[in-house]
Each structure stands twice: as structure tokens, then as C-alpha cells.
Amino acid sequence: MHIQWFPGHMAKAKRQAIENRNMVDIVLELVDSRIPESSRNPLMDEIVNNKPRLVIMNKADLADRSRTEEWLTHFNQSEKNQQAIAIDAFSHSDITRTKKIIKEMMAEKMAIRKQKGMKPRAIRLMVLGIPNVGKSTFINQMIKKNRAKTANKPGVTQQQQWLKIENDFELLDTPGILWHKFEDQKVGVKLALTGAIKDALFHKDDIALYALDFFIHTYPGRIKEAYHLSEDMTDKTYPELLMELTTHLNFGDDFDRASEKLIFDIRDGKLGAYTLDEVPVEPEETKVSGNE
């Protein structure tokens, strides 16, 4: 689905996310493991504020494992009150691991409640994230049932409902749907390549040229292997390479068709697991103090 975001929608989505945040113990921020930075909402830190946050790197099955490890370290070290976990939302063991981490993160708070003589209660959770990171899938797996997909309509006021999970958790029924980062063209291309935003916003050949550049530099040999090309063609420019690929696929001079095939093949994992975002090199101390 594609959501058209306007300033009014953004303000409302932010306001709702903050209202919901105030009702929960912990915020579960879902990101796509292939684009852990590009799939974050630009105002996420402001929205989450100092609430404990678990960054859930979803779709880890589609991402480059070594880069996922680097991102986990980065998220675990970059903010106080924040931890990270990489999961495949369809994996039962990953969902179990997520529940365990949430309990561990909340253990101290719950122990303090107990010391004060307060009644034990379920840990309250909410899910936040941009469209297509897997929020509905994750919620369904957490509650272990398949219900109708949540309407991804920003700004639609719905009565808040809590979903009970095994007496241990209460999860806000509706995930907080937040907007992407629009301002950076490169982020837009990455979102389009992974299918997070619909292709109509970009020329297919722009996405394909970015993809060729990325794969040839980051995962040399994969393009050659996937399309049974005779040579690496690293000496070619990317437009030349796209032309070569189009001819090789017998698509005549239909570059759009070849671009589309490349994009869909990458989304379908035919070129292997990959991660488009690199962990930033800036010292993380800067980021922590900058947010305070």
C-alpha cells in the first residue's frame, strides 16, 4: 500500500503516536533489516522520547547477516533505554525471543512495582513504524492469530483496543503508522527498491541503476550469477550494463521491462540477502548527547 502523507496527516500521526506512547511501558519500533536507517521515521526519537524502546529489525531473513550484526551493535549502543533484536516475524522462535527480551527489559520496573506492594500487571506494548516494515504481520504473530489486516489509513480515529497476550502482555491493537523520510532522494530509492513505497514515485530505471551500482560494489558477482552473464562487466557504465541486461533478457530495447525485472528479482531475494544501509561511522556519544 502507498500512503500519501501531508503535513496534516503527519501532525496527527505524531500526536496519536505520542498519546499512545504515554499509555504503554515500552515502544516496539519496527524497521526493515535491509534498510535499518532508511525505514525509520525521522521524528522517531522525539516521538519515543525517553520511553524504553525495543528496535525490532524485522525481515532479517532477507538481510545480510553480518550487516545485521553491525546494526544490532549500533542500536544497542546508540541510545540509553534502547535495545535491538533482529527477527523474521514468521519465525515462532524469533517471536518467543522477542517476548523474552521485552520481559527482561521490564523486569526492574515490574520488580519495583512489586516492592511497592502494587499488584502485578501485564506489560503494555505498542508497535510503531513506517508502512510495510511488517507491523501487522508481527502483531498477528504475537497474538498467534490471523485477523483482518489493519487498515493502513493515517489519521483514522479508531477506538483503542488492547490485545491480551498470554497474561504477560497487552498490545495496542492498532500499530502506529508513521511516515518515511521523504527529503533524501537516495532514501526514497532504497524504500522503493525494497517495496516499502510504490514504484510510481520513481522512474524504474533510476531504481535499477542504483541497484546495479549497489550490487556490483557491495556483492560483486551476484548480478553476473543471477543472470548468467558471461563477464562481470565491471568496466561498463551502469546504463551500459542495464542495456546489456535488457538485451540478454531478450527484452529488445525495453529498458523499463528489464529494470522492473531486476527490481522484482531483488525484492524476491533472487539476488540473495542484502542490506542497503551502512552503519554510520560517527561516534555514537555525539548522538546520545545531541538527543538530550
Binding site for ligand G4P (CB under 6 A): 58-59, 61-62, 88-90, 129, 131-137, 152
Measure CA 78 to chain center: 17
The answer on whether 153 is annotated among ligand-binding residues is: no
Nearer to ligand G4P by Cβ, of 58 and 98: the residue is 58
Q: Cell numbers of 49, please?
A: 522520547
CB 186 within 8 A of CB 193: no
To the nearest whole angstrom, how small is the minimum distance from the Cβ of residue 141 to ligand G4P?
Answer: 8
Q: Return phi, psi of residue 237, to 5°.
A: -75, 165
The position carrying cell 515490574 is 110
Residue 59 is labelled as binding a ligand: yes
C-beta of 150 vs 218, nearer to ligand G4P = 150
Least Cβ distance, residue 62 to ligand G4P (angstroms): 5
Query: Toward ligand G4P, which CB reaches closer, 21 or 59?
Result: 59
| Least distance to ligand G4P, CB of residue 129, Å | 6
Residue 164 half-sphere exposure, CB side, CA atoms within 13 Å? 4
* Smallest separation (angstroms) from ligand G4P to the CB of 226: 18
74, burial (CB in 10 Å: exposed 0-12, middle 13-18, buried 19+): middle
The reply, when asked if residue 132 is annotated as ligand binding, is yes
State phi, psi for 4 to the nearest 5 degrees.
Answer: -85, 120
Least distance between ligand G4P and beta carbon 269 (Å):
8
Residue at shortest CB range from ligand G4P: 134
Within 8 A by CB and 6+ apart from 1, the residues are 131, 132, 152
Cβ at position 17, least distance to ligand G4P in Å: 14
Cβ closer to ligand G4P: 1 or 107? Answer: 1
Closer residue to ligand G4P (CB): 257 or 267: 267
Any binding-site annotation on 176?
yes
Instruction: Say if residue 136 carries a ligand binding annotation.
Output: yes
- Amino acid of residue 142: M
Range list of β-strands (E), the chain: 26-32, 53-58, 82-86, 123-129, 162-165, 169-172, 176-177
Nearer to ligand G4P by Cβ, of 132 and 246: the residue is 132
Burial group, residue 256, by CB count within 10 angstroms (0-12, 13-18, 19+):
middle
Give least dist CB 284 to ligand G4P, A: 27
Pick 100 or 149: Cβ nearer ligand G4P: 149
Q: Is 126 helix (H, G, I), strand (E, B) or coil?
A: strand
Q: Would you say 186 is a known binding-site residue?
A: no
d(CA 12, CA 63) in angstroms, rounded, equals 32
Does residue 272 have a known ligand-binding role? no
76 is in an annotated binding site: no
* Bind-site residues for GTP: 58-61, 132-137, 176
* Bind-site residues: 58-61, 132-137, 176
